Amino acid sequence: MSEGLRFFRTRGGVPLSLPQKRRDFLKRYGLALALAVLAVLVRKWLPVREGTTVYQLPIVAVVLAGWYGGRGPGLVASLTCWIGILYWLIPPADSFVLSSEYQLGFAIFVALCLFIIEFSAARWRVERALEESERRFRLMAETIPEIVWTESVMPRRMLYMSPRYEQVWGHRLGDVERDPEAWMEAVHPEHRNDVRSAWRRWLAGEGNERLDMTFPIVRPDGDTRWIHGRSTLVRDAKGRPYRVSGIAADITDERRAQEALAKAQMELAHVSRLTTLGEFTTSIAHEVSQPLAGMMASAGAGARWLAAEPPDIAAARATLDSIAADGKRARDVIARIRALTKRQVPRKDRVDINHEIEEVLALMARESRSHDIVVRTQLDRSLPRVGGDRVQLQQVLLNLVVNAIEAMSTVQDRPRLLTMASARRGSANAVLVEVRDTGTGLDPAGAERVFDAFYTTKRDGIGIGLSISRSIVEAHGGRLWASRNEPHGAVFQLSLPVAEEGQP
Ligand code: ADP
């Protein structure tokens, strides 16, 4: 038997546990024996003629024992009475001899006892079963977190309401016992009239059998709680409302969680709008700042070539070309971003990815040199073209190269090696590009984290380069992922689908 079943309340509110059950057992049998002995002794001491009115008192003892204690105690009382009567009360006294004139009377007494015992035992069993079922009901009703109740409609009377009502409502149970509508007084004033009229209409039998209501209540301590009540109406044979019962749940926590969720969703929507805007603005700055930096560097170099004695006109012209190329790149980036804001379909060029790799490396040549980085390429010259936006793909490659250079800039104990490779991914009809470095490497647990927006480990990093790069690659139907380079550094790989036939 479970702990819960062992300690529940009986009808009288007395807790019943195992030792108490034993005590209860001893009491029933003890009382039966005492009653029988008392009946025999009292009859023996009564100043009545020997052999007369022998059975009345013992019968009373047997009835009481059977009624109170059931079959076992009834039998104990009967047996005691039979022995006592035979020995003391039926002549000849002080002997077990039963003369023939008393035999019939004694037999009737024995039969009567057996009948009484069976009768009382049946009643005792029914009472016990009822008690047990009531205990089970109470155990259920008093332990579930909801309030359960049942009410009679004609006449209006609260038949049962579980004690949980006192905890949830903060009102006394006695109030609803006196007035079955007392619970409505706690309903929030703004909702009270609605709740009351819906309730009364339903009790009057208008509408269907079920009533589902959610309303706030204000407890005496000022706390507001939300209640969800579901009630059922039972009709009598003539179809008139007869009983109502239901269950009321305190859904305050659930409701608060829902409200918090709704608020969080709204905030998230707001943040994501801001983030998109922020990311967008940042991406413009990010993408335009590269060619601008290039232009400034080239302009400086051009001025130096012209200031030289004699001025190196050819070199100066080369720097001007480079400035023009950077300017064109910046213009393309902006044009592409404008196209994006106008929701224009991204360009679908047939892009020679090897060419883009070389262009990006050329763009970063000065930067690589200044960081003592050795650049290697392993390019598959027979690669097919990939479909996509040339400028966007160049941005992705540039971003990966910049990250690799930055990751290697602090490395002192090994060569700073940047390898860019391209290969055919035969099975998937795609092209694979790899940017491999010997830099600080990726946190083993967080290779995926680097793609999170605003994740950065750099003092003045923004943490959006990789997240934008990934969305660009995915918009091209490809994938971008990172892994560790052995023994040091990181590898960023991207796969891009081969351009479809007929693409311009
Ligand atoms: P940011 O350049 O502003 O830091 P990114 O999205 O480009 O933003 O990169 C996010 C983070 O990922 C970097 O701060 C860095 O910690 C890590 N990371 C990116 N590339 C590499 C790499 N090649 N080696 C090691 N860590 C890298």
149: CATH: 3.30.450.20
How much is the pLDDT for 125? 86
Q: Which tokens is 265 given? A: 């969703």
Ligand 1 atom closest to 464 (CA): 6
Per this entry, what is the length of the chain?
Answer: 504
Name the residue with the closest Cα to ligand 1, atom 1.
463
Residues 403 and 270 in one domain: no
- Domain end: 345, 365, 388, which one? 345
* Distance separating alpha carbons of residues 100 and 90, to the nearest angstrom: 11
**Which residues make Cβ contacts (< 8 Å) with residue 137, sequence separation at least 6?**
none
138 belongs to a structural domain: no
Residues 477 and 368 in one domain: yes
For residue 387, the cross-strand partners are 350
316 belongs to a structural domain: yes
Residues 329 and 371 in one domain: no
- Please list the pLDDT of the chain residue by residue as tens digits (504 residues): 333 333 333 333 444 556 777 888 899 999 999 999 999 999 989 888 877 788 999 999 999 999 888 899 999 999 999 999 999 888 888 889 998 989 999 999 999 999 999 998 888 889 889 999 999 998 998 999 999 999 999 889 999 999 999 999 999 999 999 999 999 999 999 999 999 999 999 998 888 899 999 999 999 999 999 999 999 999 999 888 999 999 999 999 888 887 777 666 656 554 554 555 666 677 677 778 888 988 999 999 999 999 989 999 999 999 999 999 999 888 887 776 665 554 444 567 899 999 999 988 987 887 888 889 999 999 999 999 998 888 888 888 988 998 999 999 999 999 999 999 999 987 778 999 999 999 999 987 778 889 987 788 888 777 778 888 888 888 888 999 999 998 999 999 999 999 876 555
- Per residue, the 3-state secondary structure of 326-392, as one string, reads HHHHHHHHHHHHHHHHCCCCCCCEEECHHHHHHHHHHHCHHHHHHCCCEEEEECCCCCCCEEECHHH
Ligand 1 center to residue 458 CA distance, Å?
8
**Which residues make Cβ contacts (< 8 Å) with residue 305, sequence separation at least 6?**
311, 312, 313, 315, 316, 319
356 belongs to a structural domain: yes
Residues 503 and 370 in one domain: yes
How much is the pLDDT for 92? 86
**Whether 477 contacts 334, CB under 8 Å:** no
* Distance separating alpha carbons of residues 497 and 388, to the nearest angstrom: 9
CATH of the domain at 473: 3.30.565.10
How much is the pLDDT for 227? 96
How much is the pLDDT for 338? 65
Q: Within the chain, how many helices (H) and strands (E) appear?
A: 14, 14
Q: Number of C-alpha atoms within 13 angstroms, CB side, residue 52?
A: 4
**C-beta of 404 in contact with ligand 1 (< 6 A):** yes
63 belongs to a structural domain: yes
Ligand 1 center to residue 260 CA distance, Å?
34
Residue position matching structure tokens 């209540």: 217
DSSP 86: I
Ligand 1 center to residue 423 CA distance, Å?
24
Alpha-carbon distances, residue 291 vs 288, 329, 364, 388 (angstroms) = 6, 7, 11, 21
User: What is the count of structural domains for the chain?
Assistant: 4
Query: Can you list the positions of beta strands (E) in 180-223?
Result: 210-218
267 belongs to a structural domain: yes
- Domain end: 102, 133, 164, which one? 133
Residues 301 and 406 in one domain: no
**C-beta of 466 in contact with ligand 1 (< 6 A):** yes
Report the run of H or E that residue 375 belongs to, with start and end.
strand 374-378
258 belongs to a structural domain: yes
277 belongs to a structural domain: yes
Our CA angle for 444, 446, 450, nearest 5°, is: 130
Ligand 1 center to residue 117 CA distance, Å?
91
**Whether 121 contacts 70, CB under 8 Å:** yes
How much is the pLDDT for 4? 34
Residues 122 and 7 in one domain: yes
> Residue 116, exposed/middle/buried by CB under 10 A (0-12, 13-18, 19+)?
buried
Alpha-carbon distances, residue 213 vs 180, 202, 251 (angstroms) = 17, 11, 12
Residues 242 and 327 in one domain: no
Residues 188 and 85 in one domain: no
Q: Which domain holds residue 30?
A: 3-133
- Domain end: 109, 133, 157, which one? 133
Q: Number of C-alpha atoms within 13 angstroms, CB side, residue 319?
A: 18
Q: Which tokens is 111 given? A: 């039969």
**C-beta of 442 in contact with ligand 1 (< 6 A):** yes
Q: Which tokens is 450 given? A: 């680097």
Ligand 1 center to residue 282 CA distance, Å?
16
Ligand 1 center to residue 419 CA distance, Å?
17
Identify residue 438 by its one-letter amino acid code: T
* Distance separating alpha carbons of residues 438 and 418, to the nearest angstrom: 7
Q: For residue 85, how many other CB atoms are within 10 A of its CB?
A: 24
Residues 356 and 488 in one domain: yes
Name the residue with the closest Cα to ligand 1, atom 16.
457
Ligand 1 center to residue 286 CA distance, Å?
14
Residues 21 and 125 in one domain: yes
Q: Which tokens is 422 given? A: 């391209």
For residue 377, the cross-strand partners are 420
Ligand 1 atom closest to 449 (CA): 12
139 belongs to a structural domain: no
Residues 222 and 276 in one domain: no
How much is the pLDDT for 462? 74
**C-beta of 440 in contact with ligand 1 (< 6 A):** yes
Report the run of H or E that residue 281 belongs to, with start and end.
helix 252-307
Residues 126 and 115 in one domain: yes
* Distance separating alpha carbons of residues 306 and 311, to the nearest angstrom: 4
